[in-house]
Amino acid sequence: MKSVTLAVALGLLMLSTPASAQQARDFGDYVIHFNALNTELLSPQVAQQYGIRRSSSRAMLNVTVLKKQPDGPGAPVQATLSGTAKNLTGQIRDIEFREIEESAEAIYYIGELSVRNLETFDFRVQVQPAGANETFNLQFRQQFYTE
């Protein structure tokens, strides 16, 4: 039931956020899906269940790593992630990711940071899938609205 709750919640969030907030990047044998959103958008139940602080001044970065499969959708794989968020004034914040493994069908990496209204971040996330010999560099920019 836990996995269904999170999968549905994160799926609905991906559908309800702007197109720029839900993205994917192709890295050879892997596809990395990611989105960043204000944690206030999470339901109180989901936030509590996964230890996410729900607030208009908090953002959550959600990353999923899928290994391409020849005969169907990608399979989730574990990975090592590290990342930073740099705002337009040059302040850098380290992002600590934690793994949420719901089943063999769902592995998420969640990182949180504080944000201010209209603050823009350049995110840089290094992703090394388990069993892969290389690290992939994911970069994107996003602005947050807290009011």
At 8-62, the pLDDT tens digits run: 455 444 434 444 446 999 999 999 999 999 999 999 999 999 999 999 999 999 9
Residue pair 146/56 in contact by the 8 Å Cβ criterion: yes
Task: Count structural domains, the chain.
Answer: 1
The pLDDT value given to residue 4: 44
Stated as kind and residue range, the H or E segment containing 12 is: helix 2-16
CATH of the domain at 82: 2.60.40.3340
Residue pair 112/52 in contact by the 8 Å Cβ criterion: yes
Residue pair 66/108 in contact by the 8 Å Cβ criterion: no
Q: Which domain holds residue 30?
A: 2-143
At 110-133, the pLDDT tens digits run: 999 999 999 999 999 999 999 999
pTM, to two decimals? 0.83
